[in-house]
């Protein structure tokens, strides 16, 4: 409904437009409370780097956070990551996730995915980002705290905000996907794409047993695609660019738990099903997944020019005053 050019979708958007104007007014009032100094954001930890978006879902925040994790660690920085744990029982408050593999149902699909891909990185899960920053200072002093999302969480002071905001038209919620008016871009230190651009590349596949499946060996193969993403078109385009023939799809809403009993109904047994890492951490908990041929897709995201971005990021962090422990 938010983006379709159909007459029905356009009519629904027009019908909901007054509610979107009220939503935008409410947001601007909330933002003004902080902009005018009536409330002050808390600063329990420094530095806090936020990767956010003005839109709900599908902007690639988590993959970009993983890029920042790798960049900062390669530069000798310690890192911790804060995720909301959306849709999970861990989303209330904030808590440090235990070591080892995480259940997507208990901790959320994005924290479970980050733990799978970067098992040594400390994770703090929950919507209370002020508490997450306090926990970071207490448990991981001297670390750069990366917020996966949280740009709209004004009670916490962010020392550096990177906004993934491709130029697309649209209303605020509920008639469109925007969580706040486009004027919110002024709070960001960097908006992408602009000075830098974001690149994404499908790097290969693995099976659930860890067997590597290079793209070259799969070119021309027929596959099904199962995903629960905010922007499934990005995954489908990546499959097309890898020259895989997508002959069936099952696209579900972002963060869908993928626990429906009929999820695999109607899929040919001899055709592999391609899924993202974010989907796999949920599918691996199903008792019937061992009966299916699964290809787990891996992709890399980075900012270009990469070296110029690295210098920009480290320079910004070096300019921040240190925080005593």
Higher local confidence (pLDDT), 291 or 111: 111
pLDDT band at residue 151 under the 50/70/90 scheme: very high
pLDDT tens-digit map of 183-205: 999 999 999 999 999 999 999 99
For a pLDDT cut of 70, what percent of the chain falls above it?
Answer: 99
pLDDT (tens digit, 9 = 90+) per residue, 76-86?
Answer: 999 999 999 99
Reply yes or no on whether the pLDDT at 324 is more than 50.
Answer: no
pTM of the model: 0.94
Q: CA nearest 101: which of 120, 79, 82, 84? A: 120
- Mean pLDDT (the chain) is 94
Strand partners, 207: none
pLDDT in the model for residue 86: 92
And the tokens for 48? 């806090």
What pLDDT digit, counting tens, does each position of 3-30 carry? 888 999 999 999 999 999 999 999 999 9
The domain 34-194 having CATH identifier 3.40.50: the answer here is: yes
What CATH number should be reported for the domain whose range is 199-302? 3.40.50
Residues in the chain: 325
Q: Where are the domains of the chain?
A: 34-194, 199-302
Q: Which of 40-49, 71-80, 242-251 has the lowest mean pLDDT?
A: 242-251
How many CB atoms lie under 10 A from the CB of residue 77? 17
What mean pLDDT do residues 51-55 have? 95
Q: CB–CB of 189/161 below 8 Å?
A: yes
In DSSP notation, 146-214 reads EEES-TT-TTB--SEEEEE------PBTTTSSBSS-GGGGGG-SEEESSSSEEEEEEEEEE-TT--EE-
pLDDT at 119: 97
The whole-number pLDDT of residue 323 equals 61
- The two tokens of residue 147 are 């917020």
Q: Return the number of other C-beta atoms located less than 10 Å from residue 206's C-beta.
A: 16
* Contacts of residue 21, Cβ cutoff 8 Å, sequence gap at least 6: 172
pLDDT-based confidence at 55, cuts 50/70/90? Answer: very high
Fold match, 34-194 / 199-302? yes
Confidence label for 325 from pLDDT (cuts 50, 70 and 90): very low
């Amino acid at each position: 409904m938010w983006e379709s050019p159909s007459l029905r979708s356009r009519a629904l958007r027009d019908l909901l437009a007054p509610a979107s104007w009220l939503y935008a007014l409410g947001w601007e009032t909330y933002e003004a409370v902080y902009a005018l100094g009536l409330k002050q954001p808390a600063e329990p930890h420094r530095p806090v780097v936020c990767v956010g978006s003005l839109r709900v879902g599908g902007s690639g925040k988590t993959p970009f956070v993983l890029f920042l994790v790798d960049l900062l660690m390669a530069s000798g920085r310690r890192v911790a990551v804060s995720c909301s744990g959306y849709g999970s029982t861990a989303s209330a408050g904030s808590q440090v996730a235990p070591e080892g593999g995480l259940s997507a149902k208990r901790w959320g699909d994005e924290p479970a995915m980050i733990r799978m891909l970067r098992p040594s990185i400390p994770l703090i899960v929950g919507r209370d980002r002020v508490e997450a920053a306090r926990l970071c200072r207490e448990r991981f002093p001297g670390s750069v705290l990366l917020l996966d999302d949280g740009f709209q969480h004004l009670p916490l002071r962010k020392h550096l905000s990177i906004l993934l905001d491709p130029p697309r038209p649209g209303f605020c919620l509920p008639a469109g996907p925007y969580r706040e008016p486009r004027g919110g871009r002024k709070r960001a230190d960097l908006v992408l794409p602009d000075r830098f651009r974001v690149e994404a590349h499908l790097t290969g596949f693995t099976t659930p047993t860890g067997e590597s499946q290079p793209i070259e060996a799969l070119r021309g193969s027929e596959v099904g695609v199962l995903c629960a993403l905010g922007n499934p078109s990005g995954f489908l385009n990546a499959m097309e660019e890898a020259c895989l023939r997508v002959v069936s799809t099952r696209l579900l809403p972002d963060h869908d738990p993928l626990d429906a009993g009929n999820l695999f109904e109607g899929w040919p047994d001899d055709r592999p099903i391609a899924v993202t890492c974010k989907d796999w951490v949920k599918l691996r908990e199903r008792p019937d997944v061992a009966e299916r041929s699964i290809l787990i897709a891996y992709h890399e995201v980075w900012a270009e020019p990469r070296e110029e971005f690295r210098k920009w990021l480290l320079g910004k962090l070096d300019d921040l005053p240190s925080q005593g422990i």
